[in-house]
Structure 1
Amino acid sequence: MSTPERPKQMLALTAEQTMLQLTAARASGERFDAPIVVANARHADMIEEQLAAVGCRPQALILEPIGRNTAPAIALAALCAVEPDAPLLVMPSDHVIEDVDAFRAAVQAALPMVEQGWLVTFGITPDAPETGYGYIKVGEPIETGVYRVDRFVEKPPRAAAEAMLASGDHAWNGGIFLFRADAFLDALAQHEPAMLDAVRRSIADGERAGTHIRPSAVAFSEAPNESIDYAVMEKSDRVAVVPVSMGWNDVGSWDALHAISACDPAGNAIRGEVIALDTNNCLARSDGVRIAMVGVSDLIVVASGNDVLVLPRGRSQEVKMLLEAMKSSGGSDARSPEAELGALKG
């Protein structure tokens, strides 16, 4: 269902609102300014339509001419912030946070350190030895609820993940950050000056029309394609973490979506035109054609347009392999696996 034309963030996967709309609502109210959105240029109209539908007007819509990782994308936002010392709350727009009050409380806990120039990340309280997430080792306390980051850990093998979960001093790296714009840019100048220079030039040589900012493709392409973790967070000596349990999920697979969806008494998560008889623990979803299921269990069945996906629960990570097979077969409708990784940052 996630395509380059309409990536996951633009879909209503977990609620009536899209992932983008839910992200905007998470940071709305008197304590929050209008958002800065960094996205692929092809999605500009769709973003404005979806945000307008929930009463949100971005202060800036920065349209990436080419895809880059999180560090240059965040640098674009920091350079375009109206107030250089304003705290920036950096959120991917394809996450689920069920306990928004807990999230906002964590943001409040982090603000005093942010005002002192610290770079803060939010560590998700783990409930399983996940091998698909990076981890943060939580160090000594700095303020109430805020700790120094001891180290970042890449996605671990199963045994290491189990040991970190048992230790009680590790959190999942959820990729959500809070820091002053100028503090982030100072850290980037220290650790990745070539990236900062390329992003600055892309804005200087780019175009502006109202709230739309179109960086220069030539200059932006020269920015190293690195994540914020690798470019800054793992290198800076003023990095803190706020551990928080807030019902977080990055909805990285259909199995993850089933796990957080409201289910009927038989454990089925159903959306769209679906008839399910004697069916248990399935996810069934259609945006058009009718799905009929009888006497089956533990399946994922998704119908979107001309495509139908059927696979056992627990194997939805293999969708990427399936997409590669579709590309290899030369099918004109084969979708790029990159669409699953998120073509939009918010």
Structure 2
Amino acid sequence: MTDRIHPIILCGGSGTRLWPRSRAERPKPFLPLLGASSLFEQTLARCAGEGFAAPLVVAGERHVPLVEAQGSPGMRLAVEPAARNTAPAIAIAANLLPGEAIMLVCPSDHHIADPDAFRRAVASAAALAASGRLVAFGIAPDRPETGYGYIERGAAIESGFEVARFVEKPDAETASAFLAAGGFDWNGGIFAFRADTFRRELAEHRPEMAQGVADAVSRGTWEGTRFHPDAASFGRVESESIDYAVMENTRCAALVPVAMGWSDIGSWSALRDARQAQDGEGQGNVARGPVELVDCRNVMVDSDGPRVSCIGLDDVIVVVDGEEVLVTSAAGAQGVGKLTGARSQ
């Protein structure tokens, strides 16, 4: 069991930035946004086969039916009693696995166009993780993006690099400087490490969190393939990301760089870009449903019913979901989560 890589698939969040298609009852990971299968199903597929153990999914109670409906054979599911961000979620998994197990932590809602490149990076990361490193996957940047955190490479080691520093989301000028300088990668939120390494580092840097999750797991119960941590113990755990709790504090951080056609599909403009690369029409347009585009450039229309006709538009996104209609510029798509409809879903 421990000679294989253990995929830990994190299913969290409400997906408000892809409203109105993504709703609380059926958020982004479980939608077929790129191809016939959902982002969650695609994540499971690229973390399966030779060298991989059956996945362990960490999700909230609300999403259990969706996870189990789209899950894979042998999958186990840890059901979070409350949303506590990525560090406690990963800690649940780390406490359910043998210490020497290599964990591959993957968000459930990312797109990777080149799964082979991903698997090669996994092999490199697993080798570093086996030696006691906490490994982040560094995504090769292709633009001065201000919506992602960055990781600066340090000295070359084995199959990767030491981490010089983690950098918060920069302003445009700083992001351009990073791209020009080289040696900076996007932090894609994908990690690899041994279970005991993560438990040790969490205990060093967030001892109360580490103890709280350990208590929740030790007092938890199995119900078939579902694991339920103790709700009272877990409810007292602080909410914090793995970046803040562990990765920015550990002295064991490493980086494996990879160019794999990655996107977090964090906005409608990001989804448009991914669809353009996959199957875009002329002039960069992308259409789903009954759509007619005339003299348009870089326009995406996604309609599940009414016919949508657009003339002379540039960099505009239109989404129709039932009775809800969203119209936004591509530049304004990052603000969709602020809309009343998205917040009240």
TM over 0.5: yes
Structure 1 residues 240 and 181: alpha-carbon distance in aligned structure 2, compared to 1, 3 A threshold: same
Structure 1 gaps of 5+ residues are 327-333, 340-346
Show the 5 A alignment for 1:70-219. Answer: 70-81=86-97, 83-143=98-158, 145-219=159-233
Give distance in 2, aligned partners of 1:89 and 1:7.
Answer: 23
Give distance in 1, aligned partners of 2:174 and 2:328.
Answer: 29
Show the 5 A alignment for 1:262-341. Answer: 262-321=279-338, 323=339, 326=340, 334-336=341-343
Tell me how far 1:278 sits from its aligned partner.
4.1
Residue 18 (structure 2) pairs with residue 2 (structure 1): no
Deviation by residue 1:85-113 (Cα, 9 ceiling, x = unmatched):
11110000111111111111111112222
Q: Which amino acid aligns with 2:259?
A: S
Show the 5 A alignment for 1:198-277. Answer: 198-261=212-275, 262-277=279-294
Q: Is the 8 A contact 1:192 1:231 kept in 2?
A: yes
Give distance in 2, aligned partners of 1:58 and 1:158.
Answer: 45
Structure 2 gaps of 5+ residues are 1-20
TM-score of the two chains, using structure 2 as the length reference: 0.89
Give distance in 2, aligned partners of 1:118 and 1:296.
Answer: 49
Aligned-partner SS, 2:233: helix
Aligned-partner SS, 1:31: coil
Give distance in 1, aligned partners of 2:184 and 2:252.
Answer: 18
Tell me how far 1:165 sits from its aligned partner.
1.1
Q: Which residue of 2 aligns with 1:342?
A: none
Tell me how far 1:295 sits from its aligned partner.
4.2
Deviation by residue 1:130-179 (Cα, 9 ceiling, x = unmatched):
11110101000111x41100110111111111111111111111110001
Q: Is the 8 A contact 1:3 1:336 kept in 2?
A: no
Give distance in 2, aligned partners of 1:260 and 1:189.
Answer: 39
Q: Is the 8 A contact 2:336 2:342 kept in 1?
A: no
Q: Which residue of 2 aligns with 1:343?
A: none
Pick from 51, 63, 66 the counterpart of residue 79 of structure 2: 63
Tell me how far 1:58 sits from its aligned partner.
4.4
Aligned residues: 322
Q: Which amino acid aligns with 1:126?
A: P
Give distance in 1, aligned partners of 2:302 and 2:126.
Answer: 41
Deviation by residue 1:2-51 (Cα, 9 ceiling, x = unmatched):
11111111111111110100100111111111100001111111111112
Among all aligned residue pairs of Structure 1 and Structure 2, give the percentage whose two residues are the same amino acid. 47
Structure 1 residues 207 and 298: alpha-carbon distance in aligned structure 2, compared to 1, 3 A threshold: same
